[in-house]
Amino acid sequence: MLDSELSFEQHASKFTQTCFFHLRRLIEIHRSFTNATLLTLVHAFIATRLDYCNSALFGCKTSIIRRLQSIQNSSAWLIMNISKFGRITTTMCDTLHWLPVHQRITFKICMLVCNCVNRSAPIYLQEICNSVNADVHRPRLRSTDHGHLVVPRTNTDRFGRCGFSVSGPNQWYKLAPDIRILSDKPEQYARALKTFLFPNSTDKHF
């Protein structure tokens, strides 16, 4: 749901309402499933709900991220059978290997950039991610040898930085060179990227 200010407030309200409705339904019947079946169901729920088009939420308000994080926390409580007021941060990272919502958004953007670099993404996305090395009008700088992408200038500070044309190259730039070099091996790149993002998963996102 898009609003006139692109704040995603209406989207977050409707989204959390729908997700908690489905979670309540799962809670009512979760004792009928084995632990493995319940884990599969909740993993599917997270993948199809929280991860779907989540890159569009890059740069949105912290209050919205916290709403989405509450959905993930509740899902983890359900799987691990932990009290609602029990601490879930460590369990979510160490046992379930889930990135918090903030990092899941970054992960999705970095994966999209990887697909653009490999020319496996849609053409309209590939055209956004241009290598610095391919720009003949740029002088030969150190960045041309590090696989950096061109970050276009923006006229608006609030919305410009949130667009994929800016956020994608910026997040790609923040990755370590040994991760970017794995871009032609998507599976290894995804594992290395997730490992890179885990240490940056601080309590403030939970």
With b meaning 16 or more CB within 10 Å and e meaning fewer, what string describes 156-175? eeeeeebbbbbbbbebbbeb
Rounded to the nearest 5°, which phi and psi values hold at 55? -65, -20
- Say what the pTM is: 0.84
Provide the pLDDT for residue 200.
67
Which of 97, 124, 125, 15 lies closest to 60, judged by CA?
15
| Residue carrying structure tokens 């994080």 | 69
Tens digits of per-residue pLDDT, 64-79?
999 999 999 999 888 8
Question: How far apart are alpha carbons 153 and 89 in whole angstroms?
Answer: 37
Tens digits of per-residue pLDDT, 81-93?
776 666 777 778 8
